[in-house]
Structure 1
Amino acid sequence: MIEVIEPGTVVATTVSLFGMDREETGVLAPSYLAAVLRRLAGFLCPCSPRTLVRTMIDSHRGLVVDEDSFEELVERSIEALVAIGDLLELSDVALVGEQVRSTWLVAAPPAFVARPSGSAFILGLSADEQTPLPTEMRTRVVNRFGVRYIEPLPGEDLATALRELGLRELSNAAWMKCPKTLPATDLLASYNAKLSACLPSGGIPDLLVLDGSRDTRSYRRRWGLPGLLTGNFVVRRSQTFGSDLWGYAQLRDGIPLTLLDLPLHGDRFRGCDAAWRLQMAIDAVALRSQGYRLRSDEHGATIDLFSPIPKWARRRLAVVGSEVDPDGCLMSFRVAAGELATEEKFLKDMLYLNRTANEEGH
């Protein structure tokens, strides 16, 4: 007998199978998106990000009303999984039989990062389980905005227990490694010097330009065609396979003269990480620094961000604090009162961000 199943029933069943919090039953919930993407990635990886996005959308037809908005959320969730360390990006992967280089997603091996509090972040995945742990340990996993962690039981040495289960331990220092601190002027001057040394690029098809003169609180609206722009700009262009390619280009009346590919040769961080930080430096030097909003109460504060940040910055904020529901912004992090001054200094020194608003009592 054929039975018609309501979309809500399908989602509720999926939530139950993944052992997720019943409060996050919607297909748009960050924890739901992260859990399903991990499961799909376990089967599909290595693959291009577009393959993962397309498969996710195809598997949810009839469950979402606005596929365009859903696609944007899926792309953002994949970015979060890469930032956390569940998925790895491998650049310069040659496709078999084709002279194409692209960015692939690879499932990170099961690992954990011990926190000073005794809890541990769980990273990586496998084709068999999205969280490769025994059932008893898996039931203790807390999934918060795609970040998975386990709190220790009284008297438990959680790190030792996880090592004995075969998970690889990553040090906090290695997992949260950041580039060196540089003033915005020095960072921008370094990129400009490298760009000046590049050979003429010729025409670049499908070029999109990140125009810093546009509204800094709407990241997507800052992207557009070159038009008649003149100057040095962060750019990206699509490719047949894999993620977009990032770069820094000199334009004259919208025509590219030179192009510097990002990331730089030997840089361990991703192209988008380098580009986002470079754009923050460009904005700061132009005296239009990107901003963050602070919502304070007696227990701490919530930092609201309006543009993407490099994965090393996202990891730090997730470790020091915790990611929470964004409120009229791109992403938000809850930070304890005792950590706030240090993290605000980090945002200013490393990302050149300025506090633009301070809302009390939230």
Structure 2
Amino acid sequence: MIDFASTETEAQLSALGLRMIRRGQWVRRPSEIEAGELIKRIRERLSAAGPAGTVEGMTVIDTAVKVTHYRGRWRPLAGSDSGLFVARRPQDYGADLWCVVLVTEGVPFRLVDLPVDDPAAPGHDEAWRVQAALDAASGSPQVFRATPSSGTGASAGMTVDLFSPLPRWAERHLELVGMSIPRISGALRSYRVPEVAMPDLADFLASMLWMRQVTGEGRNDS
């Protein structure tokens, strides 16, 4: 087994042209914040934005739909919609843009395109974290399922199933403590994680994305 922590190994890898990336650099993430505070900041940005104007073809995430049914949460705006939504809107060329939008009686009132905090990040990273905050604030936080795996020896541990997409920085954290495996039926993504790493992982998902752990059957209908 290679001892990657040894000075000799580090020197050998450096001689091969490989550069060490510290853990903090690899899992670089936004600051920890309460869900309500993140929503407050988003509303402040929207208050400073100009009128949304006409927006055709917008789709939004319906917070009223179960958090374990991600694809089923997306729908067009309805005339009864009012409030803050994570949304996507078409553009002339390229993929739909990610945004947050303030809606009044089915009409977009103000919107802000994402990302806003990190211009180098994909828009969905900020969008999915805002949605996690909205779900937590509504009393239905996003969940992850952790069950004992059937493996033995090196393959033993916990299977962690996710039902909502995670920002890229959260995926990097999971890949650091575990490994991606073929998704379990009903989940969007599944990982194999050593049992000893589960307490820290659960704390990470709870503090950064306000998620809660479940042990029963999850469902995504994807």
**Aligned 8 A contact 1:300 1:340 in 2:** no
- 2:191 pairs with 1:343: no
1:332 alignment counterpart: 190
Distance 1:117 1:212 in 2: 47
1:314 alignment counterpart: 171
- 2:69 pairs with 1:212: no
Larger RCO of the pair (alpha carbons < 8 Å, separation 6+) = 2
Distance 1:330 1:243 in 2: 21
Picking from 13, 22, 28, the partner of 1:171 is 22
- 1:317 Cα shift? 0.6
Distance 1:213 1:288 in 2: 9
1:323 alignment counterpart: 180
- 1:344 Cα shift? 0.3
Q: How many residues align?
A: 209
- 1:117 Cα shift? 6.0
Q: Pick closer, same or farther for the CA change 1:167–1:326 going to 2, 3 Å.
A: same
Secondary structure at the aligned position of 1:332 is classed as strand
Alignment of 1:139-218 (within 5 A): 157=9, 159-218=10-69
- 2:78 pairs with 1:227: yes
Structure 2 counterpart of 1:239, which letter? Answer: Q
- 1:219 Cα shift? 1.2
Distance 2:18 2:57 in 1: 43
Distance 2:133 2:203 in 1: 15
- 1:168 Cα shift? 4.1
User: Structure 1, residues 188-231: CA drift from partner, whole Å, max 9, x if none?
Assistant: 11111211221111111221111111132121111111122111
- 2:97 pairs with 1:245: yes
1:85 alignment counterpart: none
- 1:305 Cα shift? 0.2
Picking from 257, 272, 284, the partner of 2:109 is 257
Structure 2 counterpart of 1:335, which letter? Answer: V
Distance 1:336 1:266 in 2: 32
- 1:172 Cα shift? 2.2
Q: Pick closer, same or farther for the CA change 1:205–1:117 going to 2, 3 Å.
A: farther
Secondary structure at the aligned position of 1:170 is classed as coil
Distance 1:227 1:117 in 2: 58
Q: Pick closer, same or farther for the CA change 1:166–1:242 going to 2, 3 Å.
A: farther
Secondary structure at the aligned position of 1:233 is classed as strand
- 2:140 pairs with 1:282: no
- 1:265 Cα shift? 5.1
Report the RMSD for the aligned CA atoms in angstroms: 2.4
**Aligned 8 A contact 1:322 1:334 in 2:** yes
Which structure 1 residue ranges, 5 or more long, are not aligned?
1-115, 120-155
Secondary structure at the aligned position of 1:174 is classed as helix
Secondary structure at the aligned position of 2:215 is classed as strand
Distance 1:311 1:243 in 2: 18
Structure 1 counterpart of 2:14, which letter? Answer: R
**Aligned 8 A contact 1:233 1:250 in 2:** yes
- 2:212 pairs with 1:354: yes
Distance 1:318 1:266 in 2: 22
User: Structure 1, residues 99-155: CA drift from partner, whole Å, max 9, x if none?
Assistant: xxxxxxxxxxxxxxxxx9629xxxxxxxxxxxxxxxxxxxxxxxxxxxxxxxxxxxx
Which structure 2 residue ranges, 5 or more long, are not aligned?
218-222
- 1:302 Cα shift? 1.4
Secondary structure at the aligned position of 1:292 is classed as strand
Distance 2:164 2:138 in 1: 17
- 1:279 Cα shift? 0.3
Secondary structure at the aligned position of 2:204 is classed as helix
Distance 2:139 2:183 in 1: 26
- 2:143 pairs with 1:291: yes
Alignment of 1:69-88 (within 5 A): none
